[in-house]
Chain A
Amino acid sequence: MTTEETLATHGQELRRGTVVLAALASLGEPRYGYALLQHLARAGIEVEGNTLYPLLRRLEKQGLLVSEWNTDESRPRKFYALTTEGRGVLTALTQEWSALNTALTRLTARG
């Protein structure tokens, strides 16, 4: 494995866990899959559709999201939004993320 490939694997591992937090943080207001993907991309979180769409269903199954079909527009779209439980998890994960961020910032600054 070349260094670039190794780096790519580690980078992917690092980002993988953050997608859940990013998705939960963006679903305070209801969004459908493609719109969420766009929203995340604009915010600087690059995530593949084949990761995000199945993830939304898993989070719904876990009770963190609730979904509703909207058929008013030309194209029927499935909108996802946080549940109360999802809000709780979002708060907890946000705290964990900031603790992690503080710790890693300190560690990497020290070198």
Chain B
Amino acid sequence: MTSMTDRYVHAVTVQLPESQREDIARELRGTIEDTVAAAPESADPGAAERQALLDLGHPTRLADSYRGEPRSLIGPRFYPAWLRTTKILLALVPAVVGAVLLLVGLFDHSTPGELVLDVLSGAFYAALHVVFWTTLGFAIAERTGLEADQLEVLPATEEWDPATLPEPARRQVTWSDSIASVVTNAFLLVLLVLPFRLGGAIDDFEWGQLFTDTAYSLRWVLATGMVLSLLASVHVLARGRWTRPTAVVNLLGTLLFVGPLVWLAARNDLYAWDTFPVAWVRDAGGELKINDTATLVTTIVVLLAVALWETVDSFRKAARTD
């Protein structure tokens, strides 16, 4: 076993930039040895070493002190907004996902055991994703503050004149709007990345698969797009306004999400007509009441309209911010 001092020095320096490690380790070890050597001769060397290390304090605190700055993922400026957003999302998204899975399970005639397991694991996945992506979004907002800071306050580097103080910045996007957008994106994302299929491949025709296998295999592309849109919406939530980079990320996310869906719908490869929940849409004669073409056209039009509106809106607001 290595000595207490060695372990302490390692615990401190492992948290420091590699270029400084060796030098600080050497100096720190020498300092600890000096301190121990200065202890009264009657003292037990082990106890003196222990006391010297205790006096230097917790390795992380000492490493912070060497680094000169505490590390934090989300600083005090964004912490309240992060907490508020996470709480709202955690209250809504897992519950809605759970409710959807409950409905699916009821149609599917799942056993009560399966039902409880599906709902709980779905809600758990939802909570996990919500917390992870929201935190990531805020961490990005924390680290990309430069241009937005200068918009909201003043260029910190230049000479300033009280006359040039900007008007207090009002939120361009209200809290409720930005929360709603984050909730929608998070909800869609969770549905996309659930570890099992909605509807699934079930022999019983009462409830079948809604979307084709092709659509299902493309879900990771859609999920990637949704992640980008979610990060953009979290950024907007944190900053209260659209910026050009955020709008570009959001556009990329929209393209990745809407693009494959429109492509699939145009090839009539989106809805799994054969396994659609036929009991609802088929009349007594067994004919499909649903109009394939009309449904596909509606789907495409709605998707394109939403994508277009979101893109135009975000870039327009970003232009106003610039």
Indicate whether A10 reaches chain B with its CB closer than 8 angstroms: no
Give the contacting residue for A33; candidates B27, B66, B68; CB below 8 A: B27
Specify the chain A residue showing the minimal Cβ separation from B12. Answer: A50
B-chain residues with CB within 8 Å of residue A57 when the two chains form the complex = 24, 66
Bound Cα distance A53, B26 (Å): 12
**Given A49-B55, A58-B68: A75 in contact with B34 (beta carbons within 8 A):** yes
Specify the chain A residue showing the minimal Cβ separation from B20. Answer: A57
Nearest 6 A/B pairs, CB to CB: A34-B34, A54-B65, A54-B66, A78-B27, A50-B57, A33-B31
Give the contacting residue for B31; candidates A48, A51, A53, A58; CB below 8 A: A53
Assess the A49–B35 pair: CB atoms within 8 A: yes
Chain A-chain B contacts (Cβ-Cβ < 8 Å), number: 51
Assess the B27–A50 pair: CB atoms within 8 A: no
Assess the A51–B65 pair: CB atoms within 8 A: yes
A-contacting residues of B (Cβ < 8 Å)?
23-24, 26-28, 30-31, 33-35, 38, 55-57, 61-62, 65-66, 68
Bound Cα distance A48, B55 (Å): 8
Bound Cα distance A88, B62 (Å): 29
B-chain residues with CB within 8 Å of residue A87 when the two chains form the complex = none
Bound Cα distance A78, B66 (Å): 16
Q: Give a binary string over A68-85; 1 marks a CB under 8 Å from any B CB, 0 the rest.
A: 010000011110000000
User: Which A residues, 30 to 51, have Cβ-Cβ distances below 8 Å to chain B?
Assistant: 32-35, 38, 48-51
Shortest CB–CB separation between residue A33 and chain B, in angstroms? 5
Bound Cα distance A34, B35 (Å): 7
Give the contacting residue for A54; candidates B35, B38, B62; CB below 8 A: B62
Assess the A50–B56 pair: CB atoms within 8 A: yes
**Given A49-B55, A49-B56, A76-B26: A54 in contact with B68 (beta carbons within 8 A):** yes
The 6 listed contacts between A and B (C-beta, < 8 Å) are A48-B57, A49-B56, A50-B55, A76-B26, A78-B23, A78-B30
| Best-buried of B34, B55, B61 by chain A (most CB within 10 Å) | B34
Grouping DSSP codes into helix (H, G, I), strand (E, B) and loop, the B interface class, with mixed when no group exceeds half, is helix
Specify the chain A residue showing the minimal Cβ separation from B65. Answer: A54
Specify the chain A residue showing the minimal Cβ separation from B55. Answer: A49
Shortest CB–CB separation between residue A107 and chain B, in angstroms? 31
Assess the B65–A75 pair: CB atoms within 8 A: no
Give the contacting residue for B30; candidates A38, A49, A58, A76; CB below 8 A: A76
A-chain residues with CB within 8 Å of residue B34 when the two chains form the complex = 32-35, 75, 77
Bound Cα distance A48, B56 (Å): 8
A-chain residues with CB within 8 Å of residue B68 when the two chains form the complex = 54, 58
**Given A32-B30, A77-B30, A78-B30: A50 in contact with B35 (beta carbons within 8 A):** no
Assess the B65–A34 pair: CB atoms within 8 A: no
Assess the B27–A53 pair: CB atoms within 8 A: yes
B-chain residues with CB within 8 Å of residue A58 when the two chains form the complex = 68
A49-B35, A77-B34 known; 19 new pairs, CB 8 Å cut-off, are A32-B31, A32-B34, A33-B34, A35-B34, A50-B55, A50-B56, A50-B57, A50-B65, A53-B27, A53-B66, A54-B65, A54-B66, A57-B24, A57-B66, A69-B26, A76-B30, A77-B30, A78-B26, A78-B27
Bound Cα distance A77, B68 (Å): 23
Specify the chain A residue showing the minimal Cβ separation from B23. Answer: A78
Bound Cα distance A34, B37 (Å): 11
Bound Cα distance A34, B68 (Å): 20
Specify the chain A residue showing the minimal Cβ separation from B24. Answer: A57
Bound Cα distance A57, B67 (Å): 10
